[in-house]
Every structure is written in structure tokens, then in C-alpha cells.
């Protein structure tokens, strides 16, 4: 970091109240403020005798979290589509699945297994939709 840049930023930052500088420091929004600005803020607060609190995690990481959360809605749609297609296909083949299948000492009823699989996809898609909804509500509050 250039000492000249930090000095220039310090001149501007000294006009701000300590509370405002503390807020900028704690929020640690690297999209809005440069590393030089944070260095200047720290120097000013130290000079004013203000205890330097820890910074929050960088806001850039929050963007990744939001992107991942928004993908839950897409995942839910894919699971719902799979559930719908599989339900239609299994519904058409239902008579063939009603006979039990013997594999070694275990007898499987394919109809029950397919119904369990479909139920899993349905609950998975509903879970994705609910998580997506909850994450969007949290984002609106912030």
C-alpha cells in the first residue's frame, strides 16, 4: 500500500466522526472501501484513542452465500421435474412393478421402492424451495 494514498485518504477520513469510522471498520465492506481506507481508519481511530474492534467477515463472501442460496430454487425445480417425469413413467408401468422381485434371500416390492424414491424427490424439492424462501427473507431483512 502506498503511504501517499493512505495519507490522502486519512485527510478525508479525519473529517468523519469516530462512530462513523468504527461502523465502516466493523462492517469491512471491501466492495465499498479499499485496503488503504481501512489502514487509514485504523490509524485515525488509534490516534483518537479508540479501541479497535474486530472486523466482520468480508462482504464479498456474503455474495457467494447469496448466489449459493439462490441456486436452491433451481435445484428444487430440477428435483420437482424429476419427480414429475418419474411419477408419470412409473404410473404408466405400475402393473409391471406390482410383482415382488426376489434377490437372494430378500424380496423387494419395486412399487414400494419407487414410491419411496419419488417421495424422497418430492420432499427434497420442497426442502429446497423452503430453504430458498427463508434465505431470500433473511436477505431482505439485511
90-140 pLDDT per residue, tens = 667 666 666 777 777 777 777 777 777 778 777 877 887 787 777 777 766
Q: What does the pLDDT read at residue 72?
A: 64
Question: CB–CB of 130/73 below 8 Å?
Answer: no
Residue 67 has pLDDT above 70, yes or no: no
- Give first-to-last CA distance, the chain, whole Å: 32
- The Cα 73–Cα 126 span in angstroms is 10
- Per-residue pLDDT tens for 69-92? 566 667 777 777 777 777 777 667
- The Cα 100–Cα 60 span in angstroms is 54
- The Cα 64–Cα 121 span in angstroms is 26
Residue 61 has pLDDT above 70, yes or no: no
- Quickly state the pLDDT bin for 5 (edges 50, 70, 90): confident
Amino acid at each position: 500500500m502506498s503511504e501517499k494514498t493512505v495519507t490522502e485518504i486519512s485527510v478525508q477520513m479525519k473529517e468523519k466522526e469516530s462512530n462513523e469510522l468504527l461502523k465502516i471498520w466493523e462492517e469491512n465492506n471491501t466492495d465499498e472501501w479499499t485496503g488503504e481506507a481501512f489502514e487509514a481508519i485504523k490509524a485515525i481511530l488509534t490516534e483518537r484513542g479508540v479501541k479497535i474492534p474486530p472486523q466482520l467477515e468480508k462482504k464479498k463472501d456474503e455474495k457467494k452465500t447469496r448466489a449459493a442460496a439462490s441456486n436452491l430454487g433451481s435445484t428444487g425445480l430440477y428435483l420437482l421435474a424429476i419427480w414429475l417425469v418419474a411419477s408419470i413413467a412409473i404410473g404408466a408401468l405400475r402393473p409391471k412393478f406390482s410383482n415382488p422381485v426376489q434377490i437372494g434371500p430378500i424380496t423387494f416390492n419395486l412399487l414400494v421402492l419407487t414410491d419411496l424414491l419419488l417421495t424422497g424427490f418430492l420432499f427434497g424439492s420442497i426442502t429446497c424451495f423452503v430453504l430458498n424462501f427463508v434465505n431470500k427473507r433473511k436477505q431482505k431483512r439485511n
